[in-house]
Amino acid sequence: MGSDITSRARNSKPQTEVSSLPKVVIVILNHNGKLLAERCLQSVMNSRYANKEVILVDNASTDGSVEYLRGIFPEVRILENVENLGVAGGRNRGFREAARSDTDYILSLDNDARIDSHFIEELLTVAESDERIGVVGPKAYSDDDSGTIQCAGGCITYTQNVCAQRGLGQIDHGQYDRLEDVEYFPGFGFMARQEVFESLMFLDETFYGYGHEDTDFCVRAARLGYRVVYVPRAVMWHRRSATIGGYSPRKKYLEAVNSAYFVRKYGTPRDCLKYAFFAGFGLVYALVVQSLRGNQKAVFAKAQGIWDGLRKPIH
């Protein structure tokens, strides 16, 4: 079934046959990144896959993103949020709108991502090959001309960052060219069946701000019996921390809140002890290193985030 999708998508078929292809709605989240979003949208428009629709969710941008992008891409449906709903809330608004449009699949992208022109059909080739496959994701490269891998699917480690992206920072020598099941994909680039989104009631918005709402989504999908599958032939590029910044107080706080919450939600007692050890050691190490850079506020924000995450009610 999958190879048939690829061949039909790559050959320019008449419009009458487009409806026979699975429908994919692409949901792109944007906040104050109009030029990045322009690059992302252009890559989506260059996609060879025919039966697609694009929704851009603007999370209360103040840089004129909505007017700018509407002028360039009038065919894109733009949803404006009057306030920043965070990552999970912003994405969910687009996902819910996509689910109402009688789609088969929903593709999640961030504004700082770009996709290969055959990206969508490569994901569909695998997704359509087995109805047990609920979530698929790509090989993502760092969008910095380094040629390094950023993510080839992820695994849950329960160390201080809780999760790890496979291949991060590695030169691609084909070591991640095997189709295989993984534990999660980052929200900047994954696709899932519409039925998975609806069965899970979309992303858990308890993960406010930044981090682990995507991991939580994949864990819950797996617990329902769906496979989460890495597709190396689907290729994209992503700029790390282009929107929220690098080692900033806000980013470190939000990461830490969600990390501690995730560990409490899913971790065994042994996992919780492992996280406590690595998080404690990591705070001491970060305080030494970041103090030399005059960035102590980010470390203190991370410590506060861990504390707040430990007190957060489990949903």
Do 138 and 131 form a contact (C-beta atoms < 8 A)?
Answer: no
243 located within any domain: no
201 located within any domain: yes
Model pLDDT, residue 8:
45
Model pLDDT, residue 220:
98
Model pLDDT, residue 312:
87
| DSSP one-letter code for 171 | B
127 located within any domain: yes
292 and 194 in a single domain? The answer is no
148 located within any domain: yes
Q: Single out the residue in 206, 238, 270 at which a domain terminates.
A: 238
**Strand bridging mode 133-142 / 149-151:** antiparallel
CA distances from 268 to 60, 123, 158, 273, 276 (A): 38, 33, 10, 9, 12
146 and 224 in a single domain? The answer is yes
258 and 226 in a single domain? The answer is no
Model pLDDT, residue 244:
54
109 and 12 in a single domain? The answer is yes
Q: Single out the residue in 217, 238, 259 at which a domain terminates.
A: 238
231 and 266 in a single domain? The answer is no
Do 209 and 86 form a contact (C-beta atoms < 8 A)?
Answer: yes
201 and 280 in a single domain? The answer is no
Q: Single out the residue in 185, 214, 238 at which a domain terminates.
A: 238
225 located within any domain: yes
pLDDT truncated to tens, each residue of the chain (315 aa)?
444 454 444 444 444 478 799 999 999 999 999 999 999 999 999 999 999 999 999 999 999 999 999 999 999 999 999 999 999 999 999 999 999 999 999 999 999 999 999 999 999 999 999 999 999 999 999 999 999 999 999 999 999 889 999 999 999 999 999 999 999 999 999 999 999 999 999 999 999 877 899 999 999 999 999 999 999 999 999 997 655 556 788 889 989 999 999 999 999 999 999 999 999 999 998 889 888 888 889 999 999 999 999 988 887
159 and 277 in a single domain? The answer is no
230 and 260 in a single domain? The answer is no
**Strand bridging mode 52-59 / 77-81:** parallel
279 located within any domain: yes
Give the predicted TM-score (pTM) of the model.
0.90
CATH number at residue 105: 3.90.550.60
292 and 173 in a single domain? The answer is no
Model pLDDT, residue 95:
98
244 located within any domain: no
Q: In terms of residues, how long is the chain?
A: 315
26 and 163 in a single domain? The answer is yes
Residue 67: Cβ-neighbour burial (10 angstroms; 0-12, 13-18, 19+): exposed
Beta carbons within 10 angstroms of residue 178's beta carbon: 9
Domain that includes residue 272, residue range: 249-311
Could you tell me which residues are beta bridge partners of residue 155? 164
Residue 214: its H or E element: helix 213-223
220 and 276 in a single domain? The answer is no
How many independent structural domains does the chain possess? Answer: 2
Model pLDDT, residue 9:
47
**CA–CA distance, 111 with 36 (Å, rounded to integer):** 6
CA distances from 163 to 49, 252, 282 (A): 32, 15, 15
Model pLDDT, residue 275:
95
Model pLDDT, residue 108:
98
160 and 286 in a single domain? The answer is no
58 located within any domain: yes
